[in-house]
Amino acid sequence: MKVLTVLYLFFFVTMVESKTQSFHDFSIETIEGGNLDLSDYKNKVVLLVNTASKCGFTPQYSGLQTIYDRYKDDGFVVLGVPSNDFNQEFSKDSDVKEFCEIRFGVNFPLTKITKVKGDNAHPIYKWISENVSVIGTPRWNFHKYLIGKDGQIINWFSSMTSPTSQSFTNQVEKALD
C-alpha cells in the first residue's frame, strides 16, 4: 500500500508541476554556446521549431525568416532548435549556423543541436510532451509550437504547415493582439 501511495504522489506532483510550469521556466543553449533564459521572452509570442538542414522541409527556413521579419517588431520570436533526432542534421553547430545564414539568411535565434524526442529530450520538449497529445509531439523536422505571451502552448503545427500560410499567420496575429 505504501508503494502505491508513493507512486500516486509522485505521479500527482509530476502532473501538477507540468501544468504549473511554462515555457519561461526553461533555458536552452544557443548555437553560439551561450545560455538563453526563456524568461527573456515573457510578454512575447514565440514560435518554437525543431529544424534540420538536410530535410525536405528545410526550405521552410525561408518562411520562418519571412514571418520573423514581418512580426519581430510586434513582439514575435522564432526560435529554431536544430535536431538530429531524424538523422537529417549536420554534426556540428557551426555548420548548422553557417548553412542557415548563408543559404536562407536566417537571423532569428537558433539553439545548439538538441534532442527533441525520447528520454533524452531537452526539458522544454519533455514539458511540451506532457502538455500536448501524443500526435502533438515532434514526429518529424519542422514541427512547430506557438507559445503565448504567458508562456503556455497556444497550438502546435505539423511539418506540413507552411509558416507563411494564411491560417498560420492569422494565429500568430491573434496571439500578438
Whole-angstrom CA distances from 32 to 28, 89, 106, 121 are 11, 17, 14, 20
The pLDDT of 61-85, averaged and rounded, is 98
pLDDT digits (tens, 9 = 90+) for 15-47: 444 468 999 999 999 999 999 999 999 999 999
Q: Is the pTM of this model over 0.75?
A: yes
- B/e letters for 8-35, b = 16+ CB within 10 Å, e = fewer, are eeeeeeeeeeeeebbbbebebebbeeee
Tens-place pLDDT, residues 128-177: 999 998 888 999 999 999 999 999 999 999 999 999 999 999 999 999 99
Domains of the chain with CATH codes: 2-176 (3.40.30.10)
Query: Burial, 149: exposed, middle or buried (Cβ in 10 Å; 0-12, 13-18, 19+)?
Result: middle
Pick the range with the lowest mean pLDDT from 72-76, 98-102, 129-133, 140-144.
129-133
Catalytic residues: 55
Alpha-carbon separation of residue 20 from 15, 41, 49 (angstroms): 9, 17, 22
**What is the reported pLDDT for 20?**
82
